Amino acid sequence: MDNPNIIKWDEDRKREHDRGYSMPYVNEGSCGARELEMHISVINPGQRAHPPHAHEGEEIMFLLEGTAEAIIGEERYVIGPYTALFCPENVLHGLRNCGDTPIKYLVIRSISKRGLRESSPIG
């Protein structure tokens, strides 16, 4: 599929886990996107989707709801709704819910054929 698409919420795509859930939207399987991926994540208080990591390809995270601790490189920031984070290639990054309500954020990522390189979590 290589056409413009409207991709609606679909509970069948929702991936629930003990920290919250993610909902993939744009990827090669959903609409034929070959250079971008997009998903929404919802993470419970005190949790993170995964340890901070670095990978090929750029990434944007946009916090929609809640309060999060953002890690970019060696820096930490506390951010609120309607805040965007831009992560260049191979820079350590991650979000942790540091509030008392779930966080909801959008992730847009350029696709790399070289894959994800996990890094050790920091403190």
pLDDT digits (tens, 9 = 90+) for 69-111: 999 999 999 999 999 999 999 999 999 999 999 999 999 999 8
- Look at residue 34 in the predicted model and tell me its pLDDT: 86
The answer to whether residue 114 scores a pLDDT higher than 60 is no
- Quick: pLDDT tens for 12-52: 888 999 999 999 888 888 788 888 999 999 999 999 999 99
> Would you kindly state where each structural domain of the chain is located, as residue ranges?
12-115
Architecture of domain 12-115: Sandwich (2.60)
Q: Tell me the pLDDT band of 122, cut-offs 50, 70 and 90.
A: very low
Residue 110: beta bridge partners? 36
Among 108, 75, 77, 73, CA closest to 90? 73
φ, ψ at 31 (rounded to 5°): -150, 5
% pLDDT > 70, the chain: 88
Per-residue CA distances from 29 to 7, 52, 108, 109 (Å)? 11, 26, 16, 15
**CA 16 to chain CA centroid, nearest Å:** 15
